Structure 1
């Protein structure tokens, strides 16, 4: 992978949670610091975007709802200039559910995108996967 910019936001997500990091390294050195963890919020009052197929399980609905909530969280960050560069890492299902929800300003800031499941990996292993 190419060099991740200084101060880039790195989001590592799956269908249930996301870990948000900053690259605090300088001059091409990747050093991640975890800033927050994002989890489900009020799923009863929210739902996935679009029409859910009738055979979709409750877990799948919750994961789609979380993908929508995470996308909106990232959109707010992009629109308030909370980050300039975004590295988005999520399992393929979550990534696919997020893409249509991302604002054009968020999409412009995506430096790299990877369909991988790394949410439960250690900080060291996440950094290693990004090198």
Structure 2
């Protein structure tokens, strides 16, 4: 079962933004509280796309999504290395999740307690909690 531990970070992302939640529930209870909305950093000095430059075959939208996934992973990796969270659960559309996985630092990966390939960024908090409670 994918129990979300107390104080775990739950990241709900797509290619354009992410919602960062923390599980405020005690023991096995799930009570998510949104703590941040993460938007793309348009002033990113490392360029665009996952490798730092736009692949010639990529559309601008694909490049923007890959760039945001890279920025989000960079933020999660930095937080893991600073011991800001002990557990992480990722929810993202399949494409974004696929962009994120290979970029996760070993420390971030060790803290990963689960993931779900689903687009939920615009879903109400209650729907996200209900879905997570139903996972097994």
The CA deviation string for residues 73-126 of structure 1, in whole angstroms up to 9 with x for no partner, is 000110001100000000000001011111000000000011110000000001
Contact 1:20 1:34 in 2 (8 A): yes
User: Which of 71, 75, 80 pairs up with 2:77?
Assistant: 75
| Partner in structure 1 of residue 49 of structure 2 | 48
RMSD of the alignment, in Å? 1.4
Instruction: Say whether 1:118 aligns with 2:120.
Output: yes
The CA deviation string for residues 4-59 of structure 1, in whole angstroms up to 9 with x for no partner, is 10100000000000000000000211000000010110256322223754221101
| Partner in structure 1 of residue 19 of structure 2 | 19
TM-aligned CA deviation for residue 2 of structure 1: 2.9
Pair 1:112–1:43, CA change in 2 (3 A): same
| Partner in structure 2 of residue 129 of structure 1 | 131
Structure 2, unmatched stretches of 5+, are none
What's the TM-score, normalizing by structure 1? Answer: 0.94
The DSSP-based 3-state class of the residue aligned with 1:69 is: helix
The DSSP-based 3-state class of the residue aligned with 1:75 is: helix
Show the 5 A alignment for 1:101-116.
101-116=103-118
- Aligned residue pairs: how many? 131
| Partner in structure 1 of residue 35 of structure 2 | 35
The DSSP-based 3-state class of the residue aligned with 1:5 is: coil
